[in-house]
Each structure stands twice: as C-alpha cells, then as structure tokens.
Structure 1
C-alpha cells in the first residue's frame, strides 16, 4: 500500500481510530487484520493509532499495535510529537516503559525543542520522567555479553545480563534497595560475577561520557551502581552473614535522632569518586552537598535522586524508611513518625529505630498538644470575634433606628384621611 499521508484514511482506518478511542481491543484486532488498514496511518494532525492509544493511556491497545508493527518513532505529527511524548503526557509509566522497550528514541525534540522527558515534566508527570531518564536498552548491555575483537570471552557472562539490567533499570536509588536486589539473586551473590558486573558498569559510565551525545546523568547512575556493587563484593568477601551486615550499616542511625550517617557518608563518597571531575552535573551536586552538615537537608541521597531521576525533592509521596520505595503506607505503631512499605522492612529497621522510637513519640505528642492548643486559641479568638461582631451589629442597628422619644409624630387622621362619602 502507498505510504501514509496526513488525513488520507480509508473508511476502515477511520473506524480503527474510533475503536481505539473506545478502547475495544478485540474490535481493533479485527480491523488491523483488514487489507485496507495501515497500522501507521495518519489522521489530519499526523497522529498514528499508536499515538492515540498512548495519549489515551490504553496499554492493551498499545501492545496490540506494537505487535502489528506500529512505528514507535513515527515523527509526522504537526508539532513533532512522538508516541513516547504522548505516553509521557498520559502519565502512564507502563505505557512509557512499553514505548522505550520498543525502541523509542528519548532525545527527539518536538517543534518547541522539548524531549519526551521534558514534556512529561512540564505537565507534572514526574513518574514518567523518572522512567525515561532511567532507561537503558538491554541491547546496549548485551553488547558486553559477546567477545569483542581479540577477546576470548565476553566481559559479562550472558547469564548476568538479566539480573544486572534489573539493577540498572531501578528508579529507586536507595543503596539499601539495590543491596536487597543483589541479595535476592543468587547469580549476583557470586564474587566473581559481581566483579564483572561493576567493571562493566565502569565501562558503560565511560562510554556515556565519551560518546558524541554525552549523557552525564546516565554516567553518574552507572558509576553509583558500580560503587554499590563494589561495596557488596567487599562485604561478601569479608562477612559470613553475606549482605546482612552491609544492610545494617546502611540503616544504622545515630543515637540522637536516628539519622543514617553511614549511608549519607557512603553516598557522598560515591559522588566524590566520580572519575570525570569536569562534569557539569558533578559540580552542581558537589555545590549542593558540600556546605551541608551531615544530618541536615538536602541529604546526599535527595541530591543524587534529583540529579538522576529529575524529580525535585520527594513531592507529596511517602517513602519507606528502610528501602526508599515509593508509596509506603505502614507506620510504626508506637511513634507513628516513620513509614515502611511492609513488615519485612520494619523488622530490618527496628534494631536502630528502637533507640529513638520513644523519643520520636514524645516529640509527636508535644507537637500534637501544641497544635491542639494553637487550634483552641484560634477557635476562642474566632468565637470572641464573632461575639464582638454580633454586638457591634446590634449597636449599629439601634443607633440607626433611633430612641422611642425621637420617633416622628403620627399624622392626624382627621387631616390626612379622605372625607367619608355622604349618605343618601
């Protein structure tokens, strides 16, 4: 069939756009099997069926269209928008990931010079920004699973590519979470395997900096992951309890307030060791962290997270005190000041939290009592103001009406009333 042109649609293709809007996957599948339907047909604005499905947040429809050969990088839209941009605007992280897995290019800009990540950030879809900024193609990692040049064996055993890619793709940069991912995978718990993994991370970091379209953000992330994997390797060599000791070190809080000093120092050290000192991103991060005393804001972790994911602070979401996972809802039943994603994380953190739990409880109770007292005073002030306003209104009303002695005399009925009609 001829190459698609804007607005040049067959009757069946017009039906396809309507079916996509309705979300009828079964009917869409039937229409895509028709001979007069092109999966990359364009409506009058240059939007493909995939763009429509992505913008409307219909994951199943996107999956179906991709299976039928939809071009994820089609760029015929009148304002240069791509399917990835529409996915970011929709706020659906699963669709955004789907577009990326299908080969969506992240550095394409639209007519106003914005990338997909920048468009998502502009409309406040920060989770989609995080997914885009943290994406690293599996094919780029698979490159290291094949011998290159005169190499007799690859730098990365193929069996490690999957587990390592899972670590790379994590959007939760909390070192405890990364260590937990390593601990859960037997393939990564091997010292020799870990050493190969962090060396490959160093190579990827170097490539990100030295390639033509330098990517400092991805380079920093690869370097950071390499540092965490190296620390895991050291603990596995030295400790019989494998990585439990490392997790405890990262979680241990100082006695006064429970702040995890070791974790803060470790992340600062990771940033300091970034090998490319001329990096603009590194200099910005150092300027943010250097003048801050340990225990104050911003923490090294918050600065690192903002630099790599593009999220400013932690917004309104709740994060697990142990692993940093977003959306934590369970609170310590005693102090109600720390949050966990599940009971397992609470148990891991209890050894250090129990030292400050009562103190935090007392602080919370004092704050609540202070807030209650403030509210009581505020209510009293409002009541007093209401009474004074009512009293003032009554006084003003009385003054306006005047006293009884000042009332004007009633008119004489004999003068004012009309004369009675004469009777026959």
Structure 2
C-alpha cells in the first residue's frame, strides 16, 4: 500500500491533500489485490476524501482483482453516500471544453465565469427541483435569463454527447437533460420580472388542499422525463414503466424514481429528507405537528406558506399515532408481565409436586402397606373372602 492509500483508508483528509500536492499517484494500483486510493477512500466511507480523490483525477472505472470498481466496493460495504458521489462526479475538464471556442466558433458556448457555478450544480447529488432552483438563486451570475440560456444549451450538448459516444452513458445523459429542463423552467419565470425564482419555488412547493402533495412539482418532473429526446434509451423506458401507472399523489413519486435511477441511492436507508429542498439528513421538525422535517430554519420559512394550511390536520394525525403507539406499548408490557408470571409458576411447579409426594408418604400409608403384606402371607383364602374394591383400614 502506498502512503496515499493508507491515508485514504484511515480518513486522514489533510494528509491526502498533502500527498497529492507533492505528486502522489492517485491512480496507482500496485496493490496485491489491485486496489486504488479511491477504493480505499470509498471503503472508509469518508465523503470528503472520496471527493478529493475524484478531483485529483481518480479513474472510476478501474477494477480490482475480483473485478469490482470503487463504487461497487463501496456499495458492497454499505457506504451509499460514497457510491452516490462517485456516480454523480463530472470532471471539470469536460465542462471547461465548452469555455473555449471550438472549430469555427468565434465565442465559447459557455462563458468561463459560469463554469464554476454550473459545475457545482452538475455534481450535486440532490436532484430536488427546489434545491436546484435555490442553487441558481444563490449565485448572481446564474439569475439572468441569458446566462441560463447558455447553460441549458451546454447541458443539451453534453446529453447528446453521452448518448452518441461509443460507451453510451444513459444515466449522465438523463441527469443533464433533467437539469436542462429545470434551467428552462427558470428562464420562463425570469422573463416575467425580478425575483421570479422565488415564485417558481413557491409553485413547486404549493400543495393541494386535501393532503398538501406538491402536484406542480410532480408534473414538472414527469414532463422533464417525457421530453427526453432519445426514446430508445433503456433507462427512459424503465422510468416510464415505473412512473406511468402511478397516480399523482401516490408512491412512488417521480422524484424518488428518478433519484434512485440517477444517483443510485437506495430507498430503504433509514434517513430523513428535508420537505422543502430534499436534502439528506434533515433533523428539525415542525414544532406544532411534529410530522414535517426540515434541514434548517430557512427551509421551514419557505415552506410555511403551504404547510400552515394542513399543519393542524397533521397535528391531529400525529397525536392519534402517538396514542396508538402508547396503547400498543402498554399491551406489549401487559403481555410481557403475563409471560413472566407464567414462567414463574412453571418454575415453582416441580417443588410443589415434590411437596405433595412427601405429604402423601405418611405413616398411615406405611401401616396399610404392612397390613396388605400380612394378608398376602395369610394365603388365598383371605383374599377370596375379602370384598371387592379398595381396602379400608380399621383405624
């Protein structure tokens, strides 16, 4: 193992950066089992080190002695966050290609100042439409319709390249197309005036009156999938088969199906997601209903305009669930007490039987046995003259 492999496996981020700055080979696989530094980073479960290795140029397609890539090794040991990072990584060099004039072009298709913000959105593992719009809204360079127009055209070019290259990458093509559709939706709202991205966020979050389900968000995601230009793609057909039979408002949602297809996130992982932006690891709940989860106070404020309409109903549901849970807990405790008491009775039962047998063996019984033995010695005549049935002693 090289020092970089050791540092990656032990989770030493600063040491990894130091070794990489001094020329450590990130793709060295002179390990006895063909492991690379990226594989050790993925096995350790350290997301930051995994990202550093990818930025340093780590090859994600290298396999070890058992024919497994870094992403497959991480998935095998349950490091799903690292799997998501590896599957969603997009080299900055591939985006910088469009920041330079190519062929007869006099201007680049993407201004260099937009490459950084766009790369951040491309490599995000959270594909929630509200999160993407929030990332756009955070950067002043992207809040102009002209800038987003150039960005979405570049995304379409990357999508086309992924589908027409020798090693077709349907997953990356679908992701580029999906982000492009979100950009186009932002452009339509920006044309109407200033601060219209906030209006788009509210439109995506607005829930229906019955249960608060965001219908517009669901329709937006379904529409983006339906607009995918390559109908023969296997991934598109799988998505359509999974989403088409499902009614709007039922599970699985279009967002959950699309996320699992693109990022590889598993649905059975016991984690909470922000109701507003879909960020993983949300821990703050609404103080009233305790049913809705947010990642911070900002998301809570953004979502309050629609959540306040159903907060009271959710509170009643939560209290009912708590009552049923407490009732079930008491029932289990009572069953447990009954089981304990029955076990105690079963443990005491042999001692009682022994006591009874000892009480039965009294002197009176011994005298009866002696009398029976004497009668047996007297001969058969005495036995024949005796009445039928059990003999009772005169005493």
Q: TM-score, normalised by structure 1?
A: 0.83
The aligned counterpart of 1:125 is 79
Measure, in 1, the Cα distance between the counterparts of 2:115 and 2:276. 27
Tell me the equivalent position of 2:314.
360
- Give, in angstroms, the shift of residue 396 of structure 1: 4.1
After superposition, give the CA deviation of every residue in 1:136-176 in whole Å (9 maximum; x if it has no partner): 11111010011100001010011111111111111111110
Q: Report what 1:265 is aligned to.
A: 219
Q: CA deviation at 1:312?
A: 1.0
- What number of residue pairs does the alignment pair up? 365
Q: Distance in 2 between matches of 1:347 and 1:240?
A: 21
Give 1:281 deviation, angstroms: 1.4
Q: The residue matched to 1:359 in structure 2 has which SS?
A: helix
Pair 1:406-2:327 in alignment = no
Q: 1:324 aligns with which of 274, 278, 288?
A: 278
The equivalent of 1:82 in structure 2 is 36
Deviation beyond 4 Å, 4+ runs, structure 1:
408-411
Where 1:325 maps in the other structure, the secondary structure is coil
Distance of 2:52 and 2:252 partners within structure 1: 34
Structure 2 distance, partners of 1:408, 1:348, is 88
- Runs of 5+ consecutive residues of structure 2 not aligned to the other structure: 367-395
Q: What residue number does 1:43 align with?
A: none
CA distance in 2, matches of 1:276, 1:155: 23
| CA spacing shift, 1:211–1:326, aligned 2, 3 Å | same
Pairing partner for 1:100 from 26, 33, 54:
54
Q: CA deviation at 1:185?
A: 0.9
Q: Distance in 2 between the 1:174 and 1:358 partners?
A: 26
Q: Secondary structure of 2:196's partner?
A: coil
1:187 aligned to 135, 138, 141, which one? 141
**1:143 is the counterpart of 2:102:** no
- Aligned equivalents of 1:195, 1:58: Cα separation in 2: 41
C-alpha distance after superposition, 1:68-94 (max 9, x if no partner): 101111122222211111111111111
User: CA separation in 2, counterparts of 1:303 and 1:82?
Assistant: 32
> Which of 239-248 and 201-210 deviates more?
239-248
Equivalent residue, structure 2, for 1:243: 197
Native 8 Å contact 1:147 1:155 kept in 2: yes
Picking from 307, 311, 316, the partner of 2:265 is 311
Deviations 1:39-67 (A, max 9, x none): xxxxxxxx222112111111111111111
Match of 1:422 in 2: none
Q: Which range moved further: 239-248 or 202-211?
A: 239-248
Asked whether the 8 Å contact 1:239–1:245 carries over to 2, the reply is no
How far apart, CA to CA, are the structure 1 residues paired with 2:339 and 2:50? Answer: 55
The structure with the greater share of residues assigned to helix is 2
Query: Residue by residue, what CA displacement relative to the aligned partner does 1:228-261 show, whole Å, maximum 9, x if unpaired?
Result: 1110011001244320110001101111111111
Q: Give the Å deviation of 1:408.
A: 5.5
Pairwise CA distance, 1:377? 1.9
Instruction: Tell me what 1:167 maps to.
Output: 121
Deviations 1:285-314 (A, max 9, x none): 222111111112111111111111111116
How far apart, in 2, do the equivalents of 1:405 and 1:334 lie?
A: 68
